[in-house]
Chain A
Amino acid sequence: MISFILPADGMTHLMRHFSDSAELGSRFFFKSPVSLLAYAATCFPDKFIDAVADNDGRKRISITFDHEIGTCNVVPLSSLTEQERASLFFEDRDGYKVKVAFSDRTFPTSECQIILSQDNTVITLFPGPLAPPFPKPGESSDYWDNHVFIRQKE
């Protein structure tokens, strides 16, 4: 049996990657963190049982399913078309100015990342490859310099 704690005060943060959220970013094809975690832990129990915490006390679990489980709305800058590149603008996200581009394409993914504390409290989860945290003010990040959020064209 694998147990998780989904802190009530962190649910708003966790819900931002699920379908009803209006926020910018990637989306799971699941209704809620509960349904995603239940599915992931049933399909890949060993990933959770064997997970070891990094130096910062966090367990980083990366899962690749055999089917698409969401859309990844953070893509490399280089993957944008000319038209998408022309729509680039900056938007504030958690105090960091991120690059955003409009696109009518979707970027399905079969990958997801789940980050847990040592006692399996869910810190965050999102579809797509592992992305580093946003840099602190005054610092820069190669990853975020070269990746862009996608906002669907209305």
Chain B
Amino acid sequence: MAKSIKSHAFFVGNLPQISGIDSIKAVFGEPVKEDRKTYENILCSLFHKSHIDAMIEAEGQTRPKVLDSVHHFRLEINKELPFSVFNSYNSQLKVLDGYRFVLKSLHLYLFPVGITLYALEVDDSGSDMDELTYAHFVLRELPSRWSQFPAELTDILQPILDLTGCDNTKELVSLGNKLKLFQTIQTAPDFYSREHLFEVAMCSPIDTVGTTHAMAPSQEYFDSIIEENLIAPFNNWMALAIMDSFTVLFTDAYDERTWFDSYFRLIYLRVLMQKTFLSNRNKQYRLDKVDKNLIRDLAIMDRFYFYDTISFNFLPDIINKQMSKGLGIKEEQEELSVQIKESEAKAKDVMVGVVSAFAIFSVAYDSYSLFHEAETSTAPLIMSIVAIVAVILIVFRLLRK
């Protein structure tokens, strides 16, 4: 069975409201800051400064005030752990003896508008590819399978759960049901094929495409995913950007700094941050709990995160575009725009209502003044009361709407 020569994965989740920055520092220490030289000489030569500043902190850089809440915390683990999964439902224990699992680090990423992402960074170089896809499949479901993993692993991850202030591990994915996966894998050239890329991206067993295996895709589905989601600008690597994962397969050694520090940190996390914002607001809308800060938050997102061109080079922009497509950002944006139109229409209604109410009140006041001057009896007073009640009713109805 094929083995990965070099493989690395980030499993990314998003947290609901978490405890303050002091409790984060107590566990993770001080936030990570990019050094000035790397920032200026490498990152700024690839990406627009505004984009970098919206994603990371760098030494000696000034940023717009709203980006002061952007932080990256990292807890180094560097521990090789045995990998097993015990499913008490079917009493089955699976021990992945061909999977080499090194938990490198836990990351926490703080962004404006209350978005927090976290990542488990894993090095699984030298693993059997079939076991690697199975391990990634179950690790993506870590929040719902928490008790199936060895305590050696869950004890290490406990600080992330503690930040939610809740014992329910399902809080570790506040949206969706699984962690998102960013994986880079170098294998022997004979493993390099679109079929294998598809299987690794789907976390399904190897050598199942084109067979009758229960997890084998239909030819139509396989073709449509490859046509829509493949990125293959060079001969030595290709990537697949889909809803649950971003997978890159290499035929030779790849540069970790480019893929982890640039494409993962500056692009994938950005798209996940967009996805989290949009999904969260759309979910609130469907639950009839529209966030009162929606318009303000959207202005922040529009200005700092929702623009297409982030790089001077073609490749980061292609990757960004495909990742956005894979995660369905456009669809989420369209859904949110319905919400915004509704909010705007409501604001307009309130404005018209208030103007109408003032007009009625003004007429009533004028009538009262007129009759008062004529020193007539109680009729004008009654008219005024009726007018005031009408005004109150109109305003009340508009506010309820």
Contact = CB atoms under 8 A, between A and B. Distances in A.
Interface stretch (A2-10, A50-58, A71-79, A128-136): A2-10
Q: Which of A8, A37, A38, A42 gathers the greatest number of chain B CB atoms within 10 Å?
A: A38
B91 A6 contact: yes
Contact of A42 (B82, B92, B130, B151): B82
Interface in B23-53: none
B84 A34 contact: yes
Interface in B51-102: 82-84, 86, 88, 91-98
B63 to A, nearest CB: 46
A39 interface: yes
A87 interface: no
B94 A2 contact: yes
A35 B150 CA distance: 7
Interface in A20-41: 31, 34-35, 37-39, 41
B66 to A, nearest CB: 47
Contacts of B130: 1
Nearest to A45: B97
Interface string A105-146: 000000000000000000000000000000000000000000
Contacts of B93: 3-6, 34, 37-38
A28 B31 CA distance: 42
Contacts of A39: 82
Contacts, number: 56
B171 interface: no
B387 to A, nearest CB: 75
B134 A1 contact: yes
Contacts of A38: 82, 84, 86, 93, 95, 150
Contacts of B96: 1
B150 A1 contact: no
Q: Which of B83, B93, B134 gathers the greatest number of chain A CB atoms within 10 Å?
A: B93
A1 B151 contact: no
A3 B90 CA distance: 12
B266 to A, nearest CB: 36
Contacts of A34: 84, 86, 93, 150
A55 B91 CA distance: 26
A6 B91 CA distance: 5
A42 B91 contact: no
Contact of B92 (A4, A31, A35, A45): A4
Nearest to A34: B86
B98 A1 contact: yes
Interface string B130-167: 11001000000000000000110000000000000000
Contacts of A1: 94-98, 130-131, 134
Interface of A: 1-8, 31, 34-35, 37-39, 41-42, 45
Given A2-B95, A3-B92, A45-B98, 17 more contacts: A1-B97, A1-B98, A1-B130, A3-B95, A5-B93, A7-B91, A8-B91, A31-B151, A34-B84, A35-B151, A37-B93, A37-B95, A38-B93, A38-B150, A41-B97, A42-B95, A45-B97
- Nearest first, the 10 A-B pairs at minimum CB distance are A38-B84, A45-B97, A41-B95, A42-B82, A4-B93, A2-B95, A34-B86, A6-B91, A38-B95, A3-B94
Interface of B: 82-84, 86, 88, 91-98, 130-131, 134, 150-151
22 contacts: A1-B94, A1-B95, A1-B97, A3-B93, A3-B94, A4-B92, A4-B93, A5-B91, A6-B86, A6-B93, A7-B91, A8-B88, A8-B91, A34-B86, A34-B150, A37-B93, A37-B95, A38-B84, A38-B86, A41-B84, A41-B95, A45-B95
